[in-house]
Structure 1
Amino acid sequence: MIDFWLAAGLLLLVALSFLLIPVLRERRAQREEDRTALNVALYQERVAELQSQQAEGVLDAAQMDSGRAEAARELLADTEGVAPARVSHLGKPLPLLAAVLVPVLGLGLYLHFGASDKVELTREFAQAPQSMQEMTQRLERAVAAQPDSAEGVYFLGRTYMAQDRPADAAKMFERAVNLAGRQPELLGQWAQAQYFADNKKWSDKVQALTDEALKADPKEVTSLGLLGIAAFEGERYQDAIDYWNRLLAQLPPQDKSREALQGGITRATEKLQASGGKVAQAPATKAAALLKVRVDLASELKAKVQPGDSVFIFARATSGPPAPLAAKRLTVADLPVTVELGDADAMMPQLKLSNFPEVQLVARISRAGQPTAGEWVGRSGPLASSTTAPQTLTIDSPDK
């Protein structure tokens, strides 16, 4: 903070100079006025002396005029170059008072409205923390300085969980949800922290949070893992196996937690078998949908489009939400082209091609780059989302 205060001090000196320079100039002008008044008094004294000598008969009229002229020349020489006196309407007290009040008022306003705490935090975060406790203290000060930052609140909650402070973490995740909205990941983190804060006791609140998270995103990993833990602790081993298998399917092959998760599934399987139960076979996974379509432009339209016009190719459910289930964006210059639309191109996790039995293919040209409205369009008839045969789609009609 030293460099900041040095810079502030220099700016303050510049501001004060605008107030003090006029005062110094006024003092200089006063000195010049005093010198002029002295010269005038000396001139008058010299003239009086000449008049006295003339009255005594020492000087005649010619000598008197010569002496008066000499005194006048000396007065003019002494006063030459002196600027005319300036009239000040402010006086001396007001600028001096302002010179005192400006720094005091500026400091007060900065301490009230300024961001010295944020400047200090920025300097601290530029250096790596030496311990987890130091990192926690930094995050706490950051949240205090920026209480509306959902990201800061979220990371503080994660830090509290790492320090085995689930009650504090639950408060932070609840706060993050209020700031950023009820996002599935935040709901899952909140539910997990609340579960451990309640000493691993399942509650209606935790159930509601996990239900809401999985409804918005069936692949939300924290909720799946938590439900598996709760099921295992409640000796509902088949449920634990099912939840953990769903979680295992979401983890990448190189994820280090896969080994621990697989170990939990193995232990749940052993306990289920030891109690006389039998592991239920997981339902067959629905095959991922993949549609292959060749898109071309009608010959009569080639002179009416431009190479840079956007081309949106998408599939949407014939009975269901109007939003595209899978989409790709190209340009007219790419036509003709063959593309694949599948579950990997889903716009939202819960809206996949494989979740809808029948879809329609659409290709739209939009000069403005808007996927919902354009100049020309081509549409297919209804077809099954499980179709494997290549499809052909021609853009040939005005988009109405």
Structure 2
Amino acid sequence: MTSFLIPAFLLLVLVLVLLLRPFIFPPKVEATSRRQMNAAIYREELDKLELERAAGSINDADYEIAHAEMRQRLFQDTNEEDDRSVMGSSKLTVISLCLFITVLSAGFYFFLGDATRIAEKNTQQPMTQDGVEKMVAQFAAKMEQDPTNLQGWVMLARSYRILGRNAEAAKAYERAGNFIDSDPQLLADYADVLASNANGSFAGKPLKLINQALKLDPNNLMALWLSGTASYAAGNYKAAVQTWERLAQQLPPGTEDARSIEASIADARAKGGLPSKAGINTKGVSGKIEIAVDMKSKVKSGDIVMVIARKPGERMPVAVLKTSVSEFPMSFSLTDALAMNPSSPLSGLSEASIEVRISKTGMAKPEVGDLISAPQIVKVGANNVRLVIDQVRQ
């Protein structure tokens, strides 16, 4: 705020100096008074009258009358207190003008300007995790005072979900009552929270909510994904493939989401022994992923398992499988459906370097703290590859 007010004050001073320069710096030559000006005018008129009488334009009688009238007007116009020009105005005028202009400009600025918002903006601090937690806590306290606000409970549930507090999110969704019964997205979100709280189990209420959401909207993306995941977890790979294929049809081709769902479909096909889609070469690499005992405590719910295939000696992946963490050992299958570039499929290699990485963020770039396995060079077509996660990326 100070950085703005100082230049503004200096600019105001400059404007006042330029505007009031005639008052501040009076002329060195004394200004002519009104009485002096009037006397000079009448003197000139008297001279003209004298010339007219000398030229014979007027007679002596008219001359005396005109001369008497001029003397009378001259006396009246010069018989008043001397009034000097503006150049000689008092200091009071200058002070009054300065105060008037300053108050007027300040009033316009604070009425129409942004001084208050600038000050507020400068006092604002970046939002922190503690700040967000405090806001959510205040919102929760407000909701306790207004428990009939069902929409508010939904907003609170979503806030808890963003913070990763799924237990509180589930309670908030429950208190939202029938507000969510007609909204397929809210039903799917509620089911996802309940399944997360049940360690990935969709049995009971989560599956009921998913089916209710799909009944309202058969193409809801979240509900389709959860339905396929529930079927996959139950070992019903055929149902998982059918559901996920409905989901894949709604995703833009070539996007990260489309590749991810295609990977999940390929994995379900491999585990269920189902025929692959036409046009996709089934030649690839499959096997199991294991984890060292001392690494198990480092794995958290929500971590992403990434199985990566590369051409030996190169850094660019040929195929990548992304899936959520489940119980170990877990199966994997890399095929051309997971190819990063359709023109460079995995089936086109004779050998591939295979490794597995558990990522906290799911980002393609390795990060410090990721759990990794040692790379293995295997024959493309091998189906008994064993990958062991036993290292932490430094």
**Structure 1 length normalisation: TM-score?**
0.34
**Structure 2 length normalisation: TM-score?**
0.34
